[in-house]
Every structure is written in structure tokens, then in C-alpha cells.
Amino acid sequence: MLYIHENNLLGKCEDRDNNPYRYIRNEIKDFYNNYYIPMRESVRALNFQKDNYKDFQKATEIFNNYYSDLINFSKKHSIKSQSKFESTFLEEISAYLFKDMPEITSNKLGVFNKGIYAGMKIDANHHIGIIKKDVDFCIGKKVTVVFGEQKPITIILPIVAVEVKTYLDATMFGEVKSSSKAIKSASPTSKTYILMGYKCLADEHIISARQDSVLNEIFVLRKNELSPMDVQTIYDYWLEITVAVNQLLSENLIKTPGRLLKP
């Protein structure tokens, strides 16, 4: 499983000259041991299942308490947003929510954030190359393909790809839609999502996005920058991703008479 936030914290604890946070690395290490580890162990002890809503409630409370501690620590030590000190925690939430997914625990599927398949290209030597994109959270399958006499190439086929943002403005929204379009064009059965802390763009952008198929859904965790995360949104996000994975892996039967595209 990917623990992006943990990697961010530990990286800031390193004693190296090019670490801009080395002067507070002991404080960050104490925060890691006294706040991060207890948070992670508490969430990992929960069991996320459709009929176990109370554990989603417990998780949301844990997330909110830790996020508050994280923001306070960040302000106290003047840690800039560019450090991704806070945003990586939002990315890591998905690692906890889907830890119990059978397809992941059985290693049939994997969790990735780099090198996601987004298309193919032919170079000047007529060799086929893979176009890759990084996303914040992806459930997919790593496979090996061979083109003619070329060496085998490993690619990651996405089932769901999620971009995570602390907030979303119009510029970032355009970038996310462009990336999602590339992924969907390369893997037509994949689904793409945005998970964000709070909304920071005009409603007309959302209304317009409802008319295209670039994004399957956008989830907003908080009403505004100061609000706590909403448990129902976290549950809905978990359910949406779980259903998306199950639908793709289930047998697709075409039955008539009846609806064919959205049965």
C-alpha cells in the first residue's frame, strides 16, 4: 500500500544539507511518532465494509483530529504549502479506505500512483513506446506486453484513477480533465475521479462538467476550508470506487430486450 504522507514526513526528518526542514527535523520526527503513527494504527484497525458505517464514522473523526493537528503543526513551524505537508495526507486517505478490498488484499489488483498507462507512440526507429501519467491514487493491474521483437514492456492498466487536491480552482480543473481524458482514451473501461478538500471554483464549471464524460465523479470532503471532513462523502467515495472495481471485474452480459448502455 502507498503511504505518501508517511514518505513526506520521513523525508523531512532526514539529516541532509538540501533538506530545508532539517532545522526542525526532530520536531517533525516527534510529530510522526506521537501523532502520525497512532492515527495510522487506529485507522488500520477499522474494517471498511458496506454495512459497517460506524467504522467510517470513526475513521472520519480520526482523520479530522489528525488533520487539525497537522495544520496546527504546519502553522507553528511555518511549513509552506509547496512542501505538500498537508496535501499528502488527503492522498493517503485512499490507502486506508481501500485496504480491505479483496482484490487488493489478494494481490489480484495493485495500488499505484506513477507510470499509469495513457497511450502508445511510435518513435523514429518504428519502436512502440508507452505514454505514462502519474496520478495521486490508482487501482489497477500491472501487465507485461510484447510488441513484435521488442523487449517486453510492463504497463499499469488503470481501473480507477483519482486526482487528489487540497482545493480545486479553474486552472487545476482544466489540467485534471486533460489528464483524465488521456487515461480514459487509452483505457476506455477505466473511471476517473477527483477527491478534494474543498471547492474553490465557480459552479458553472461543475455544471458544465456534468455534460461530458471525462470525469465520473467529483467528491468534496469539506464545505469550506475551515469545515471538518464529511463522513457521508467519505462513505460515498468508498462505495463509488468499490462498485466501479466490482463492475469492471464482473461478467458483462448483454441482455435483450431492455437497456443496453446503462442497464
pLDDT tens, position by position, 186-221: 999 999 999 999 998 888 888 888 888 899 999 999
Task: Say if CB 194 and CB 168 are below 8 A apart.
Answer: yes
Closest by alpha carbon to 114, among 97, 130, 98, 96?
130
Distance in angstroms (rounded) separating the CA atoms of residues 175 and 170: 9
Nine cell digits for residue 247:
463492475
The Cβ-side half-sphere exposure at 234, using a 13 Å CA radius, reads: 28
Tell me: pLDDT of 251 over 70. Answer: no
pLDDT of residue 150: 87
Q: Is the pLDDT of residue 253 over 80?
A: no
- Average pLDDT over the chain, rounded to an integer: 92
For position 210, what pLDDT does the model report? 86
For 35, the grid coordinates are 501523532
Query: Exposed, middle or buried by CB within 10 Å (0-12, 13-18, 19+), for 121?
Result: exposed
Give the pLDDT confidence of 9-36 residue by residue, as tens digits: 999 999 888 888 989 999 999 999 999 9
- φ, ψ of residue 139 in degrees (nearest 5): -105, 120
Question: Containing H/E element for 97?
Answer: helix 87-97
Q: Could you read off the pLDDT of 54-73 as tens digits, one per residue?
A: 999 999 999 999 999 999 99
Cell 479483496 belongs to: 102
Query: ω before 20 within 30° of 0 (cis)?
Result: no
Residue 133 CB-half CA count within 13 A: 26
Per-domain boundaries in the chain: 1-100, 109-115+136-141+158-249
pLDDT of the residue at 261: 74
Backbone angles phi, psi at 212, to 5 degrees: -115, 180
Task: Give the Cα separation of 171 and 185 in Å (integer).
Answer: 22
What is the rounded CA–CA span in Å between residue 208 and residue 109? 33
Residue 133, C-alpha cell as written in the block: 501519467
Cell output for 256: 435483450
**In terms of Cα–Cα distance, which of 153, 157, 161 is closest to 181?**
161
How much is the pLDDT for 252? 67
